[in-house]
Structure 1
Amino acid sequence: MRPMDEIATAEPPPAPGAEQYPALDLANSAVTLPGGHRIDFLATPRAAEQWLVDRGLAPSDTGLIETCAGRLRSLREQIRALLAARTAGLPAPAAALTAVNDALTRAPAASLLHWDPDRGLYREAAHPVTQIVEHALAVLAANAADLLTGPDAERLTACRSAPCSRYLLRHGRRHWCSTRCGDRARAARAYARRTRTDAD
C-alpha cells in the first residue's frame, strides 16, 4: 500500500465550481479514487489545518486539534447531505439544515479593530483556536447557503463517473468533475456497448 503522502499527490484538480465556492471544495475534500481508494484531506488535525490555511480560512500556526478537525469533517458531511438532496430533488434533511444554521450563528459577526506600530490600524479576528475554527465553519456554512439558494444551484450535479463521489457545477453537458472521470465514464460506456454487441 502506498504511503498517504504519495497518494495525496494523485489529488484530482478542483471540481468545476470549487474555486468559486469553498463549501463545494469542502464537500469534495474526501475523494474516492479508481480502485476504491479513499483519500480524506481532513483526516488529521494537521491535514485539516493545512486545508483551511490553503483557502485563507486560518493562519498557518493555528494548532488545530482533533475536536476542531472533527467539527470540520462533520460540517462537510452535512453540506454533502444538502448537496445530495438538492441534486436529487429531495427535501433538505433537517439535521443538515440545523448543522449549517448552527455553524452560521456561532462565529462573531465582525473582525475587531487593532493597532500595530508596523501595520497601523487593521481589522482582524484575533481568537483562540476554537473561535478561528468557528469563524471558518461560519464562512463555509454561509458559502454553502449561498450556493444552495443562488442561481448556481440549478447547475449543481454529482460526478457521473463511479466511484467518484464529488460534486460540481455543470457546464453545458459536462457531468464529470475532471477529465480523468470523463475519460473513465466514456471508457465504461464503450465497454458496455461492446459487451452488448458481443452478446447479440
Structure 2
Amino acid sequence: MERWLALELASTIRHDGEGGVADDLATVPGTTRWIQGCGDLPAGRVPAEFAADEDLRLRIVEVRQAVRALFAKAVSPAPPSPADAHRLMPVDRATARLNAVAALEPVVPQMDWPTEGAPVTRLLSAEDDPGVRLLAALARAAIDFLSGPQRPRLHSCTAPRCVRYFVKSHGRQEWCKPSCGNRARAARHYKRQQAVAEGGSAPA
C-alpha cells in the first residue's frame, strides 16, 4: 500500500478504539514519538535522536490543521472527517499557511557530474535547524499530495466512529480498512433488524 506523508500527518487524529478521538500530537513526547517513528520523512530531514519541543509541536499542529482543512475541501461535496468538521481552518488561510511553511527552508541546486555518465542535479537544504526542515517537509508533502493525481481519490471514511481520510486503492472502496468495512456492515445490519423489530420496512 502506498503511503503519503501528508496522509500520515492527517492521521495523527484518529479513533482511539473506545468511541473517542485520540491525538498523537497532543503532547511533546507524543510528537517526538510520531516524528521518530514516521517512515515517510525524506532522508536527512531530522536526525534519528531528534526530539520536539512545545514550540515545534504547536507549529506541526498548525500545519496539520491546514492539511485537514484542505483535505475537507478535497473530498467535498462528501462530508469531511467528523473529528474536526465543526472547526476547520478557512481554505484561504490553510493554503497560505502551507505555502508560508514550505518557504521556510531555502534549498540550493547542486550538480554532480561523474566521470562516466550524465550530470545529476540535487536540491540540498541550506537550513541548519532540523525543526525547520521538518516543518517545510510536511508542508511541501501536503502541497505535492493536494496538487497530485491522488487528490481525486482522497475520501473520508464513513464507517461508524472512524475519523480517517484515506486514498482509494480501487473504485468501489468505501472504507479505509477492512475492520471499518466490517463495522459499517454490522451497523447497517443492526439498523435493518431494528426497523423490522419495530414493524417498519428495512432500510435499503
Fold equivalence (TM over 0.5): yes
2:72 to 84, 90, 99: 84
Cα distance in 2 for partners of 1:147, 1:73 equals 18
Partner residue, 1:153: 151
Residue by residue, what CA displacement relative to the aligned partner does 1:132-182 show, whole Å, maximum 9, x if unpaired? 122112112111111111111110000111321110001221121222211
Check the 8 A contact 1:87/1:157 in 2, yes or no.
yes
> Secondary structure of 1:26's partner?
helix
Cα shift at 1:65: 0.7
What runs of 5+ residues in structure 1 fail to find an aligned partner? 1-15, 113-122
Check the 8 A contact 1:50/1:60 in 2, yes or no.
no
Residue by residue, what CA displacement relative to the aligned partner does 1:67-94 show, whole Å, maximum 9, x if unpaired? 101111111111000001110149x711
Partner residue, 1:7: none
More helix by share: 1
Segments ≥4 residues shifted beyond 3 Å: 123-128
Check the 8 A contact 1:107/1:135 in 2, yes or no.
yes
Instruction: Pick closer, same or farther for the CA change 1:44–1:110 going to 2, 3 Å.
Output: farther
Partner residue, 2:135: 137
What runs of 5+ residues in structure 2 fail to find an aligned partner? 79-89, 111-122
Cα distance in 1 for partners of 2:46, 2:174 equals 32
Q: What TM-score do you get using the length of structure 2 for normalisation? A: 0.74
Alignment of 1:1-200 (within 5 A): 17=2, 19=3, 21-55=4-38, 56=41, 57-89=45-77, 93-110=91-108, 131-171=129-169, 172-199=171-198, 200=200
* Amino acid paired to 1:135: R
Cα distance in 1 for partners of 2:56, 2:146 equals 25
Aligned residues: 170
Cα shift at 1:183: 1.1
Q: Please identify the structure whose Cα radius of gyration is greater.
A: 2
Instruction: Pick closer, same or farther for the CA change 1:136–1:89 going to 2, 3 Å.
Output: farther
Cα distance in 1 for partners of 2:160, 2:65 equals 19
